[in-house]
Amino acid sequence: MAKSKKSPGSLLLDFIGKYDLNCNRVSREIKCSQTALRLISLDRSRITTSIAVRLAKYFSTKPELWLLAQMEFDLKKAAGNKTLAKTLAKIPKAKR
């Protein structure tokens, strides 16, 4: 599966722009709150499985596109988290 170089929010905004739409219209048509979609577009909220399925249906894509973008965004954010890095350094590997 190809990697997405975009954040979930920028991916959403690209699709919205491509179809000459706005967040309010998309949120109405996919039956989710305007606030939820607006926060996703700003990368301040996550794309859930439910939203991914709705966006996939609406934009004729696959849910994996949206979920992969979210996962890659989350992993990139985690990689830059210094507190998490310190915690990971203290976790031993499982032994058989």
What's the confidence (pLDDT) of residue 82?
Answer: 94
Q: DSSP for 65-84, please give it.
A: HHHHHHHHHHHHHHHT-HHH
In the predicted structure, residue 64 carries a pLDDT above the cut 50: yes
Is the model more confident about 67 or about 5?
Answer: 67
pLDDT for 4 equals 53
Residues in CB range of 91: below 8 A, 6 or more apart: none
pLDDT of amino acid 2: 47
Average pLDDT, the chain: 94
Is 1 a residue whose pLDDT tops 60? no
20 secondary structure, DSSP code: T
Residue 61: other Cβ atoms inside 10 A: 14
Span 72-87, pLDDT tens digits: 999 999 999 999 999 9
Share of the chain above pLDDT 70, in %: 96
